[in-house]
Structure 1
Amino acid sequence: MSAPEPLPNPERDWERKAELRALDREEILQRIGPTDEPCELLSGGHANVNMRIGTGRVLRVYRRDTGTLRKEQALLGLGWKSFRVPAVLASGEDFLLLEYVPHAPLQGSAAHGEALGLALAEVHARGFSEAGLLGPTLDVVTPFHDVFAAFHDHLRSQLDALEPTLRSELYTPLSGFIERHAESLRAWAGGAVLLHGDFKASNLHDTKTGLPLVLDWEFAYAGPALLDVGQLLRWAPPEPFVEAFAASYQEHGGHLPEDWRRQAEVLDLFNLVGLLARAAPGSKRAVDVRRRILTTLGGPDGD
């Protein structure tokens, strides 16, 4: 029997944004002090810069929104039981110095699906009275009084930001799809739990301890649980992985409604349009996300 393959992850090959350059050595030393260790720009991180320092540390510099730093620091310090996060070794105005945790790609296996079901159930066990953006003490500081309306407004703004060819192709079918399914989407968007907000293969890894490693919490907020599920399943992982994930997630307290897979992929449209709006025209990212959007719109209720 062949070994399971890594989780599908087209995002691994997406182009880096040009402005996310590596830090020079002087910029690194200003933040962490003297060191003779080698410094290496890590893959991933389309918003922030992650520099590996020697073998045991990662310097994470917040270039887009330093306001997320304290939120992410708080989340890393919550004492998670079913998965690993890097320890925070030091912090400054625009950086966290993190433990480097050795890791390998997660596989599309039932065992790894089960582990992620347990991990996401633990994350989602933290509930909120309302959806919204989180502050540095993990309270909702910008509430979404109408979750569907907030997501719909976001979608419209991102559609407006698409380059003209994509906007012409997608605006009408996407807007029409959302309008036709508004009642269902309002129902699916009920309830608010802690969302990782970027729960996808690029941020999920295997470790020698057997626990998954969950990285990059900067986008965490309070919202509908199925948004994290949609990100995890975005690139169609193998069926044994999906089935084991669902069983484990529910066994450990997570709730999956009837037709949860379709609900999750439809809700992921709100994330996908944002990814597309920030993609360079003709890039691999634009091609992959456009295809995923069209596939979702062509689902069983897409007409």
Structure 2
Amino acid sequence: MRLVRNPERAWERAAHVQTLDRAEIERRIGPFSGEVEVLAGGHANVNVRLGADRVLRVYRRDPRAASKEASLLARGWRSFRVPAVLSAGDDFLLLEHVAHGPLQDTAACGAAAGRALAEIHGVGFDSAGFLGPDLAVAAPFADCVGALRSYVASVLDRLAPALLGELGERVSAFLDAHEGALRERASAPVLLHGDFKASNLHWLPSGELLVLDWEFAYAGPMLMDVGQLLRWGPGAEFVAAFAGAYRAHAPLADDFERWAAAFDLFNLVGLLDGVEPSSRRAIEIRGRILQTVQEER
């Protein structure tokens, strides 16, 4: 079985993982029996499996994301699975646990990802921006590409010199040189999953795609999600099947891979924020950024 390449799984395992003690869990959902297994945890959220069939997801950084994610999970998606919301609170969701396996580097998985992303992107907005719990744009961007560039500039300003190196100059030069093309290729704002990558996409025995972790969803250019999906280079069959399935429902330019990688620079620079310069995460992200700007010279 060939899996979609995903170095980010190793970053997660290497990172410090926060957890929840039993008292914190019971304060949210009441007394329970069974084992507690930490699935993932950090500054943004903590996910723990309770017994065989439930996952408690606690939002550490932004409790408001719980309501937004609950609304997205309840939309009744047709082409892919999401976990059911069993209960919710001010800073948590109690979710159904769906048994799953990793995303495979096959045409079947590529097509499933294309159908799923086309359905998600079928939700349009009048303006780009951050979403409120009702899934309306609560904080619009007056200029989407400009807002993304300002975000990148703020992250680069915070990076340690050992991590920044020549990165800031090269990223800024790339964005200056391609700003017009990025604006031309920034689609009308659509619903973005915001973290549409192999870590959050899983394969079910039924042949369905399971899509998790919607807390970063916002309205913006569709190529942002595509860039995350293709970030680590899935195989040609996967990519071709993805494109064919997506195009059955929505337009996708012939040169989408090139420009999806360019839009993913905004995501990649954000992933460097607060990272230890010598970490595997930092090394691999810097390498992917430099590969993108080098290929486009």
After TM superposition, the score normalised by the length of structure 1 is: 0.95
Counterpart of 2:59? 62
Whole-angstrom CA distance in 2 between matches of 1:32 and 1:227: 36
Q: Structure 1 255/278 Cα, relative in aligned 2: closer, same or farther at 3 Å?
A: farther
Q: Among 31, 34, 50, which residue is 1:34 paired with?
A: 31
Determine if the alignment matches structure 1 residue 24 to structure 2 residue 21.
yes
Q: Alpha-carbon deviation of 1:294? A: 0.7
Counterpart of 2:175? 178
Contact 1:106-1:205 at 8 Å conserved across structures: yes
Whole-angstrom CA distance in 2 between matches of 1:247 and 1:278: 38
Listed as ranges, the gaps of 5+ residues in structure 2 are: none
Determine if the alignment matches structure 1 residue 296 to structure 2 residue 256.
no
Q: Among 277, 285, 290, which residue is 1:281 paired with?
A: 277
Whole-angstrom CA distance in 2 between matches of 1:223 and 1:239: 27
Whole-angstrom CA distance in 2 between matches of 1:167 and 1:10: 21
Counterpart of 2:78? 81
* Residue identity matched to 1:190: S
Whole-angstrom CA distance in 2 between matches of 1:194 and 1:10: 26
1:176-255 matches, within 5 Å, as 176-251=173-248, 253-255=249-251
Contact 1:163-1:277 at 8 Å conserved across structures: no
Moved segments of 4+, more than 6 Å: none
Q: Alpha-carbon deviation of 1:17? A: 4.5
What do you get for the CA RMSD once the two structures are aligned? 1.3
Whole-angstrom CA distance in 1 between matches of 2:95 and 2:50: 10
Counterpart of 2:161? 164
Quote the sequence identity (%).
Answer: 55
Whole-angstrom CA distance in 1 between matches of 2:107 and 2:18: 38
Whole-angstrom CA distance in 1 between matches of 2:43 and 2:294: 29
Whole-angstrom CA distance in 1 between matches of 2:36 and 2:251: 43
Deviations along 1:83-130, one digit per CA (max 9) or x if unpaired, are 000100011111100000000011100011011111111101111111
Listed as ranges, the gaps of 5+ residues in structure 1 are: none
Q: Alpha-carbon deviation of 1:276? A: 1.2
Counterpart of 1:261? 257
Whole-angstrom CA distance in 2 between matches of 1:248 and 1:117: 5
Contact 1:44-1:202 at 8 Å conserved across structures: no
Q: Alpha-carbon deviation of 1:257? A: 1.6
Contact 1:6-1:108 at 8 Å conserved across structures: yes
Q: Alpha-carbon deviation of 1:150? A: 0.4
Whole-angstrom CA distance in 1 between matches of 2:15 and 2:44: 8
Contact 1:12-1:44 at 8 Å conserved across structures: no
Counterpart of 1:7? 4
Q: Structure 1 46/116 Cα, relative in aligned 2: closer, same or farther at 3 Å?
A: farther
3-state secondary structure, aligned to 1:292: helix
Counterpart of 2:139? 142
